[in-house]
Amino acid sequence: MLPGIVLTLVSEPSFKTIIEPFRIHSVEPMRMTTRAEREEKLAKAAYNLFALHSDDVLIDLLTDSGTGAMSTEQWAALQRGNEAYAGAPSWFRFRDAVHDLFPFTHLLPTHQGRAAEKILFTVVGGPGQVIPNNTHFDTTRANIEFTGAEAVDLVIPEGKEPASRHPFKGNMDVAALRSLLETRSADVPLVLMTITNNSGGGQPVSLANLREVRAVCEEFGKPLFLDACRFAENAWFIKTREEGYADTPVADIVREIAALADGMTMSAKKDPLGNIGGWLALNDDELAVQCRNLGILTEGFPTYGGLAGRDLEALAVGVHEAIDEDYLRYRIQSTSYLGEALEAAGVPVVVPFGGHAIFLDARALLSHLGPLDYPGQALACALYVEGGVRSCEIGQVMFGLGADGVEREAPMDLVRLAIPRRTYTQSHIDYVIEVVTRVHARRDSISGMTITSQPPQLRHFTATFAPIS
Ligand SMILES: *Cc1c(COP(=O)(O)O)cnc(C)c1O
């Protein structure tokens, strides 16, 4: 065991079955497809899984973003939605629910996380600026680079090793941050921390690391912002892995995280259990004025910010359901259930298991392919053909194309099996385990991919591919 890991009993000790802490309230039928059908659909989609009709997907693990199931309380709250243009009661309920956990002075709702990023980086970015993060998410990096600024990833070295068992692989390399600030302080408008570190495998950040980052930020007079999409999962990892937090309520851990920051961007399609939504929150009055004015241009009046009143209501409920400890225990255990089964079957997976997803190490699994054969894309396509499981490449396709248009080797080639919240049961996951295991067994027969067309940014969404024969 690594130092600093505390073993905590996270479930009722006498039962090994993971109980989904909800019963099914309404159902959405799924359509079965044949292998031949899937091969045809995939070829028609030019081997880009984003181009599939989702009806042709059986188990959709493309993303956990906006794909979760809402609760009866959230559906009931929708009925309370008030659609007044300005100052609707739905806005005040949303504001109070967010403030209870993240008491930043200014709160600007947005239609999703990237809209908050777009606003923030339009104001603080620009040519010559540099924004450090543990690992920038794809939309964050793209929004920063779009302004001409530079996005720098400074995760600890263990965060780039799929097999390292460090309990907080999302931590920032504090020495690297310090050395960046020592040389380029004037170019750094703010420091960002992504919790959990999505692109790095859904890995958490410890409170100890956040405190150290905060101290360096204070030393150089820089604000610290959170990209806090998975704040609740990160807080659960702190509770179960970081010394001294086993008895702290998750809500208090979240407040402790918030107290270390000066602001945040949020995609409410993640932990806040919404199908749409996001926000930007911050303490700086002057920066808030600029962000609010920009938000009015693109998102709308600041008491609705791109969202219907009913969406604000659903989020006000969801943000608190996200920190329910029975829910979080189930959420994290059910994700590890998938990871443990795959690891036991000899499939190379990123360890320790992240909160929202299991990441397959495609570079290790398809070791006969080089990074420019796009092993992650090849593996994701194989999972779809095998059993109708849709996953997402996070590797050379997503990160290999620089802002200068030059292709460089990405640090890892992962395939993400993202688990939508409260959506699939254990038998669905058992099926996924079978599909991945079968693909693993025939891995030597999987060929690489080539890109046949691509846009200059965020190419994974719309690029087209062909298998190398
Ligand atoms: C999803 C996500 C975003 C962007 O949010 P959207 O709602 O998809 O625009 C930003 N950062 C991280 C870490 C994310 O997971």
Residue-wise pLDDT for 91-147, tens only, equals 999 999 999 999 999 999 999 999 999 999 999 999 999 999 999 998 999 999 999
**CA-nearest residue, atom 11 of ligand 1:** 137
Q: What is the pTM of this model?
A: 0.92
Average pLDDT over every residue of 326-346: 96
Q: Would you place residue 9 in the very low, low, confident or very high pLDDT band (cuts 50, 70, 90)? A: very low
Kindly report, residue by residue over 431-461, the tens digit of the pLDDT: 999 999 999 999 999 999 999 999 988 899 9
Please tell me the distance between residue 270's alpha carbon and the centre of ligand 1 in angstroms: 8
Please tell me the distance between residue 354's alpha carbon and the centre of ligand 1 in angstroms: 16
Q: Are strands 130-133 and 150-153 parallel, antiparallel or unpaired?
A: parallel
Decide if pLDDT at 3 tops 70. Answer: no
Residue 62 and residue 391 in contact, taking contact as beta carbons nearer than 8 Å: yes
Ligand 1 atom nearest the C-alpha of 267 is 7
pLDDT of residue 12: 52
**CA-nearest residue, atom 12 of ligand 1:** 137
Kindly report, residue by residue over 195-236, the tens digit of the pLDDT: 999 877 789 999 999 999 999 999 999 999 999 999 999 999
**CA-nearest residue, atom 1 of ligand 1:** 267
Q: Would you place residue 4 in the very low, low, confident or very high pLDDT band (cuts 50, 70, 90)? A: very low
Please tell me the distance between residue 465's alpha carbon and the centre of ligand 1 in angstroms: 25
Please tell me the distance between residue 367's alpha carbon and the centre of ligand 1 in angstroms: 30
* Domains observed in the chain: 35-64+324-467 (3.90.1150.10), 72-321 (3.40.640.10)
Kindly report, residue by residue over 251-295, the tens digit of the pLDDT: 999 999 999 999 999 999 999 999 999 999 999 999 999 999 999
Average pLDDT of the chain?
Answer: 95
Residues enclosing ligand 1, CB less than 6 A? 65, 112-114, 137, 139-140, 194, 198, 227, 229, 267, 269-270, 278
Please tell me the distance between residue 184's alpha carbon and the centre of ligand 1 in angstroms: 27
**CA-nearest residue, atom 8 of ligand 1:** 113
Percent of the chain surpassing pLDDT 90: 90
Please tell me the distance between residue 116's alpha carbon and the centre of ligand 1 in angstroms: 10
Decide if pLDDT at 13 tops 60. Answer: no
Decide if pLDDT at 5 tops 60. Answer: no
Q: Would you place residue 7 in the very low, low, confident or very high pLDDT band (cuts 50, 70, 90)? A: very low
